[in-house]
């Protein structure tokens, strides 16, 4: 049985759709997911988190039989956790912020 040319499907639309996908993929190939400002905000957030953990360090005692009340200072109990949470908020903001085109 010979196929009638009117019964055969035209593969041209499928090829054009593929070429459009390839052009979109090739245009986004060299771009980064984040912009320069996003990376800068991420580094700032990371620095704040590290500063918070550094403020939490210390307050221990060399002798396990003596108690050091310095472990309950404002710096370790209040300031350091606030800085760490602020750093995480900055990190989330840096990830969610749209880069400028």
Within-domain flag for 75: yes
pLDDT confidence of residue 7: 59
Within-domain flag for 16: no
Alpha carbons 45 and 87: distance in angstroms, whole number: 4
Structural domains counted in the chain = 1
Mean pLDDT of 74-100: 95
pLDDT confidence of residue 99: 82
Mean pLDDT of 59-82: 88
pLDDT confidence of residue 9: 58
Tell me the pLDDT tens digit for each residue of 14-23: 556 666 666 5
Which residue range forms the structural domain that includes residue 70?
Answer: 32-96
Within-domain flag for 7: no
Within-domain flag for 8: no
Residue 57: phi, psi to the nearest 5?
Answer: -75, 145
Start-to-end C-alpha separation, the chain: 57
Displacement of CA 27 from its chain's centroid (Å): 23
The mean pLDDT value of the chain amounts to: 82
Displacement of CA 52 from its chain's centroid (Å): 19
Within-domain flag for 5: no
Mean pLDDT of 28-53: 90
Report the percentage of the chain scoring pLDDT > 70: 69
Within-domain flag for 26: no
Q: Which of 53, 60, 58 is closest to 79 using CA atoms?
A: 53
Mean pLDDT of 5-12: 57
Beta-sheet strands, E only, within 3-53: none
Mean pLDDT of 32-47: 93
Encoded tokens for 22: 């390839």
pLDDT confidence of residue 59: 76
Within-domain flag for 40: yes
Within-domain flag for 13: no
């Amino acid at each position: 049985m010979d196929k009638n040319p009117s019964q055969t499907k035209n593969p041209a639309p499928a090829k054009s759709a593929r070429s459009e996908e390839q052009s979109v993929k090739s245009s986004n190939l060299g771009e980064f997911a984040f912009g320069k400002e996003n990376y800068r905000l991420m580094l700032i957030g990371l620095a704040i988190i590290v500063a918070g953990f550094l403020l939490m360090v210390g307050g221990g005692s060399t002798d396990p039989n003596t108690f050091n009340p310095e472990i309950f200072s404002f710096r370790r109990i209040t300031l350091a956790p606030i800085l760490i949470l602020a750093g995480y908020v900055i990190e989330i903001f840096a990830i969610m912020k749209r880069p400028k085109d």
